Amino acid sequence: MKCPNCNLDLVSAVRHKIVVQSCPSCKGMWFQRQELEELEDEAFDFGEHDKGTLVPSSVPTASKCPECGAPLRRFQYRFYDLQMEFCENQHGYWLENDEDTRVLELMRQEEKDMQRTLRVDDRWAATLRRMRSGSLLERLRERFH
């Protein structure tokens, strides 16, 4: 496989415990479809449905897929300010140097945000339970009558 930027042969490299094809010159990395998911799961396993939209929209580029030669499309990763490229034939994703580390950071942030949301949900559920419980209604009635 050739680097979409430099046209050099890609070599195997281990990035965050995942074997990817990397360019010795520009340090770009080719992640096969499931490898990007493995990378995300390395930071935080969301389960399939909660991760949301990976590719909201994309534009064509002049780079070519290392596997099939189709033009890669550039997209904004999960609505973050991180751009990467993907093969529209579902072969994989092209990440520039250290963009994989950025993915991990974003996933860790996402995990924190999600935990925060869950905690808020818990509090809200507890409030609702209290509101529905007879004792609170009794107290409210006493106060307003």
Residues that bind Zn ion (CB under 5 A): 3, 5-6, 23, 25-26, 28, 65, 67-68, 70, 87, 89, 91
List residues bridging with 59 in a β-sheet. 74
Nearer to Zn ion by C-beta: 91 or 107? 91
CB of 120 to Zn ion, least distance (A): 42
The helix/strand/coil state of 3 is: coil
CB of 111 to Zn ion, least distance (A): 30
Q: Are 58 and 73 in contact (CB under 8 A)?
A: yes
Nearer to Zn ion by C-beta: 27 or 51? 27
CB of 8 to Zn ion, least distance (A): 6
List residues bridging with 83 in a β-sheet. 76
Helix axes 99-132, 134-144, angle to 10 degrees: 60
Q: Are 21 and 11 in contact (CB under 8 A)?
A: yes
CB of 60 to Zn ion, least distance (A): 13
Question: Residue 96: how many CB atoms within 10 A of its CB?
Answer: 17
Nearer to Zn ion by C-beta: 23 or 84? 23
Nearer to Zn ion by C-beta: 3 or 36? 3
Q: CA–CA separation, 74 vs 113, rounded Å? A: 26
